[in-house]
Structure 1
Amino acid sequence: MSALHELSAVDLARMLRSREISVAEVAAHFLARIAAREDLGAFAEVTADAAMRRARVLDASEPSGALWGLPLADKDLVARAGVPTRYGSRSRAHHVPAASDPLAAALDDAGAVSLGKTATSEFGLTGYTEPLTGPPARDPWNPRNGAGGSSGGAAVAVAAGLLPFAPASDGGGSIRIPSATVGVVGLKPSRGRLPIGSGLDSPDGLSVAGPVARSVADAAFLLDALCALAPYPFAVGAADAPPFSPAGTADPPRLRIGATTVSPWDDDVDIVLDAGARAAFERAAATLGDLGHAVDDARWHPVGYGPLFRVLWRASAARLPLTEAELEQVEPITAWLVREGRALDAPRVLSALADARAFERATIAAFAPFDVVLTPALAMSPRPIGWYDTADAERAFEQQVQYAPHTSFVNVAGLPAISLPVSLDDTGHPVSVQLVGRPGGERRLLAIAAQLERASGPLPHPPVW
């Protein structure tokens, strides 16, 4: 039998339910891998004793729940009762919540076994995971490079075989950026798709929960579980209804694919698509054409995006419950975002929210002729740790845009999107593309992503495997 970390999450779930392997055996295997690769900075906290206690309880019970017996970890933005939850911040270094957030509680109800907390950037505000609370999250392909963010720990854990898959969150690319950086699959669902972490609980509607996985099929499996965590209360325009797992194995009909390298940041920041990102984009477009799909240029010319997103990002930071004393403990970019956000007046914030809804409508209209739109996932190869100018908050913000100019607009438009590796660059590192779906169109998005994944062929595991 293959080593447990080499199995897909789907296969692990089947073997657990059939009692071919025990929950304790699986938990112990992944905990041992986590302990052996502390150098990758994937985890902010490991809860080995609690995980093994829960595993033994589950082994003594009948399988129940969509995630029964499967090892997961909470992103360190999700409170879990009794477990240090630091939000990647020195201002919360000693915070141990008395109650769990709804997502953690629901994952427990689904039968999952939490192994701890995956690392995140401070309060999830940046697209790199190099918090001052602990070591940086490192790219398993080249540990001199960072893993992206803000769900950098989750992506590293999945890429390095420390977890079979992981829940994460995405407010401007925080699932797709690290997933593309380390060569795994990252799925951002439609706004309103999930009953928990839906994006509907904040004024800007940017952040949603979603899966990080090693395959499209495993991402679909975890998406189904996330959709089932509570009664399904939200109506999504033109929504596909779960289950989505069958889309991970069935070829879609002939689709019309829009392809564009245009970024909504092009008129605001100097964006340069490097050779590896362009080659992956062109290869994916050609592959989709070879599969029989109609691939056409998506004539998209967004304007005015930069100013509205800058306001939304500052306004979202302004909501953090940080005192002036605590602002002296946080990282420069966090303090800058919070102070800038708190200085915004109501008319400016409301105007940005109105502009965001106009951008949403315009983007959906521009993409309407297509079933799916193909873009680069990242504009650059993975950045060395320390590349971001953390002493200059405005420069660090601009660098994040230059690295990942194609992700945040998807959050503003509320669309589903998936990043997946399709090729290797000249160093042997995976390079990813992004596919963006219609509102509520996860089924078709997953089907075309799975087909592209199969056509791209199996990619190697990182050296740490």
Structure 2
Amino acid sequence: MTDLHELDAHDLAATIAAGEASCVEVTRHFLDRVDGETLGAFVTVTPERALERAAAWDAATVRPPFAGVPTAFKDLTPTAGVRTTMGSTLMADHVPDHSAYLVDLVEAAGFVSLGKTNTPEFGLSSYTDNDVVGPARCPADPERNAGGSSGGAAAAVAARLLPLAPGSDGGGSIRIPASCCGIIGLKPSRGRVGAGPDSPTWSGLATDGVLARSVRDVAAMLDVLARPTPGASRVWPAPAVPFAEEARRDPGRLRIATWTDPYLDFVEASPGSVAAVAAARESLVALGHEVVEIPNPWPAELEPQFNVIWSAGMASVPLPPEAHGALRGTTRYWYERGGRATAPELAAALTFLELTTGRVNAELAGYDLFLTPTLALPPQPHAWFTESGDPAEDHRRELLFTPYTALMNMSGQPAMSLPLHEHDGLPVGVMLAAHVGGDALLLQVANQLTR
């Protein structure tokens, strides 16, 4: 019999349904693996809570499809009765009294949470490190960072501590760690996943998504999450056909645009990133698709406008002055930078992003999908981002690392990182994106490439 941790969520659910393992047995198996992990994947582990929920599913006469399948929630996601630190020592003892909408949806589907996965302070970085538990490590090379900000979730899934995990993505925070850890990461279309009544979506940048090892697990979790939030006005309706079914369909022959040059002229794609796209292009052509190389269509002027919105979001957090000294350097950098932005500057930045990304996508209407590297560099050593001690240099290095992913947050397009390549023994992801609303098409081609 295959070890339980080698199974994806679908096969684990089938194993439980067939009576080959109970929900409690599966939960104990994964808790034992988490107990010995050295990757910094978790901030908090909740064995008693997990076993209690597993036992309840074992006793239930009617169970949802994924009853007893383990997962965990990112430590940015409020979870009732469970410590939720946001990766910050300022919130090291914070225990929410109610859960995010995402938690309710995932738990209603039967998944059993083992705890909270690691994230950088307030999710601001493309690498995962904090002063609560330290860095999340790349399973392929623990001396390198797992990426961020869903780095703990990605490390846990890659190391078989979990079959899948939800994450959140405001500038690449699902796709970046998915690439670093060699798994699949999906950021859905803007509005596809409702944020819930406690999570404002004024900037349109961030959304919840999923990290997993199989496309069918990604599609199934998207079905769990793609439910309109009560009272929300900026969401898609639940799909008429489940994404799990759509993902198995043939997409037909598609026209796919590809580029590898970053949109910032001081950034260069590494040989591994270029090679990964070349290999993916060959696979797509072999599948019958037309792949056309084009210049990078995105203007560099987007980057400073994105920074106005990103920093303003951080500056809106009501922190007392005495708390500023407890923030990590890069968090304080964004907090102070956002505090200097004026209301007209923020409005102008939001307008620029909306008009510019809309124009670019109108010009790309003749293409169905877009293929690029996920990252410009492979997973980096933990200290590489912060070794200068200068937060502005930290930011510059993050741009050198990840100049592709945030564009899809600016535009609202669905995008996935796929683990199709390795270079020098390290995973290198490629990013596929579709037009807004094209989540099903994206899953279909991802399924073609990974099966």
Task: Note whether the superposition's TM-score is higher than 0.5.
Answer: yes
Provide the residue aligned with 1:29 in structure 2: 29
Shift of residue 430, structure 1, vs aligned partner:
2.2
Q: Is the 8 A contact 1:44 1:76 kept in 2?
A: yes
State the SS of the aligned residue for 1:412: helix
Output the CA distance in 2 between the equivalents of 1:201 and 1:317. 13
Shift of residue 191, structure 1, vs aligned partner:
0.3
> Which runs of no fewer than 5 residues in structure 1 stay unpaired?
455-465
Greater shift, 316-325 or 97-106, is seen at: 97-106
CA deviation profile, 1:32-77 (whole Å, cap 9, x unmatched): 110111x100000000111111111111003433532221111000
CA deviation profile, 1:161-194 (whole Å, cap 9, x unmatched): 0000000000000000000011000000000101
Corresponding position: 1:73 with 2:69: no
State the SS of the aligned residue for 1:245: helix
Q: Is the 8 A contact 2:54 2:68 kept in 1?
A: yes
Out of 267, 273, 285, the position equivalent to 2:269 is 273
Provide the residue aligned with 2:206 in structure 1: 207
What percent identity do the matched residue pairs reach? 42
Out of 397, 400, 416, the position equivalent to 2:398 is 400
Greater shift, 134-143 or 199-208, is seen at: 199-208
Provide the residue aligned with 2:50 in structure 1: 51
Shift of residue 261, structure 1, vs aligned partner:
1.6
Provide the residue aligned with 1:252 in structure 2: 251
Corresponding position: 1:102 with 2:98: no
Greater shift, 238-247 or 100-109, is seen at: 238-247
Note closer, same or farther for the CA distance 1:197–1:125 as it changes in structure 2 (3 Å cut). farther
TM-score w.r.t. the length of structure 2 is 0.95
Q: Is the 8 A contact 1:224 1:242 kept in 2?
A: no
Provide the residue aligned with 2:309 in structure 1: 312
Q: CA RMSD in A?
A: 2.1
Shift of residue 308, structure 1, vs aligned partner:
0.6
Output the CA distance in 2 between the equivalents of 1:113 and 1:422. 29
Provide the residue aligned with 1:458 in structure 2: none
Shift of residue 197, structure 1, vs aligned partner:
6.0
Output the CA distance in 2 between the equivalents of 1:198 and 1:244. 24
Provide the residue aligned with 1:4 in structure 2: 4
State the SS of the aligned residue for 1:97: coil
Q: Is the 8 A contact 1:420 1:449 kept in 2?
A: yes
Provide the residue aligned with 1:363 in structure 2: 360
Provide the residue aligned with 1:283 in structure 2: 279
Provide the residue aligned with 1:296 in structure 2: 292
Greater shift, 286-295 or 191-200, is seen at: 191-200
Out of 401, 419, 422, the position equivalent to 2:420 is 422
Q: Is the 8 A contact 1:72 1:114 kept in 2?
A: yes
Output the CA distance in 2 between the equivalents of 1:309 and 1:371. 25
CA deviation profile, 1:338-373 (whole Å, cap 9, x unmatched): 111112111100000100101220232133111110
Q: Is the 8 A contact 2:71 2:163 kept in 1?
A: yes
Output the CA distance in 2 between the equivalents of 1:47 and 1:183. 26
Shift of residue 139, structure 1, vs aligned partner:
0.4
CA deviation profile, 1:203-239 (whole Å, cap 9, x unmatched): 2111100010011121111111112486797677899
Out of 324, 329, 333, the position equivalent to 1:327 is 324
Structure 2 counterpart of 1:402, one-letter code: L
Structure 2 counterpart of 1:287, one-letter code: S
CA deviation profile, 1:307-352 (whole Å, cap 9, x unmatched): 1111111111112222111111110111111111112111100000
Output the CA distance in 2 between the equivalents of 1:5 and 1:225. 22
Greater shift, 18-27 or 229-238, is seen at: 229-238
Provide the residue aligned with 1:15 in structure 2: 15
Q: Is the 8 A contact 1:4 1:26 kept in 2?
A: yes
Structure 1 counterpart of 2:321, one-letter code: E
**Count of matched residue positions in the alignment of Structure 1 and Structure 2:** 449
Provide the residue aligned with 1:413 in structure 2: 411
Output the CA distance in 1 between the equivalents of 2:163 and 2:352. 40
CA deviation profile, 1:395-438 (whole Å, cap 9, x unmatched): 1111111111100010010000000111221x322221000011
Structure 2 counterpart of 1:151, one-letter code: S
State the SS of the aligned residue for 2:31: helix
Greater shift, 43-52 or 99-108, is seen at: 99-108
Output the CA distance in 1 between the equivalents of 2:420 and 2:15. 29
Note closer, same or farther for the CA distance 1:240–1:295 as it changes in structure 2 (3 Å cut). farther
Note closer, same or farther for the CA distance 1:241–1:145 as it changes in structure 2 (3 Å cut). farther
Note closer, same or farther for the CA distance 1:86–1:168 as it changes in structure 2 (3 Å cut). same
Q: Is the 8 A contact 1:198 1:207 kept in 2?
A: no
Output the CA distance in 1 between the equivalents of 2:330 and 2:113. 31
Shift of residue 12, structure 1, vs aligned partner:
1.2
